[in-house]
Every structure is written in structure tokens, then in C-alpha cells.
Amino acid sequence: MVCRPVSFVQDLNLLMMDRLLHREHWVEPDERYQCNTCFQYFHLDPKKHCYMCGEIVCGDCRTRLLIEGRYMNDVGVMAFHHGFTAKVCHPCYFTFFSARAVGFFEVEKHPNRSRPSKKKLPSSHPSKPPRRPTSDHPPPSSGSLTNASPTKCAA
């Protein structure tokens, strides 16, 4: 099982919850060619958005938050978010969320897409014997290697 750290944040004000929930302030991915935090160029790594400032960052410069808080929904009614996952860049995390984090825990990464594990066979299971060379003579080699003197390797 692979785990990833997640900060737990409670009781955000309405402005912060509203900003986290809407994507209209995000930077267009085509506008950035490097991470806004560490300035690494994006090659094969996908571009990630910070949910707070909307900038493009790499996966290493982002922190995952599990947030509980109130927000105003589309019809103007106060709603409560329980377990909203937000991904924010490190500068936004340390500016807005580190003082509000009430806990830190690890969650399983991709619980539904786990790789099959290689299990060892029980000792009673017959295994194949190691392959032995069919001849005691080394295989023929090409050119200058045939005249080379044999050397022993330190084990």
C-alpha cells in the first residue's frame, strides 16, 4: 500500500471556501511552461493547478488538503463541505493553511487501482533447477577477445 500525506483543515471562512471551489480564476495551462514555484520545465509531467491561487505547479510543489468548512452554494444557501480535497501550492499552503491545519495523516494512493503484488511461492512448491551450460567450453567470441587472457573477478 502506497500512502501519501494529507493535511486536515477545518473551519475555513466563506471567502476561502468560495475561492477553492471555483476554477474561473485559474491560469490557462497553455500560458505556463514551467512550475511557478520551483521553475522546473514541464516535460512529461502533467501540469497541476493550485486550487487557491490558480497557478500552474508541478506535482512536487503541491500539498493535498482535506477540508471541512461552510460555503455558499449556487442558489445562495449555506452548505457544509465534509471531506473536500484541495490541492494547493506550497506558498499558498504556508500562507493560508498551515496555521489552520489541525492534523496530518496518510491516505492510500489509488485504492482501487492497486498493482498485483508478487507473492513468494511456499517452500514446498517445486522450483525449476537453474540452467546449466550445455558445454564446459566458453562460447566462441569475436576478434581480439579470443586471444585475451582469462581474468578472475572478485566476488
Q: Phi, psi (5° rounding) for residue 42? A: -80, 125
- Tens of pLDDT, residues 112-154: 544 434 344 344 444 444 455 555 555 555 444 444 444 444 4
The whole-number pLDDT of residue 63 equals 84
| Domain hosting residue 53, numbered range | 3-106
CA 95, distance to chain mean position in Å, is 22
| Residue at 135 is within a domain | no
In a domain, 147, yes or no: no
CA distance 56 to 134: 60
Q: Has residue 73 been placed in a domain?
A: yes
Distance between CA atoms of residues 105 and 87, nearest Å: 15
What's the total number of domains in the chain?
1
> What integer pLDDT is reported at residue 95 of this predicted model?
82
CATH number of 101's domain: 3.30.40.10
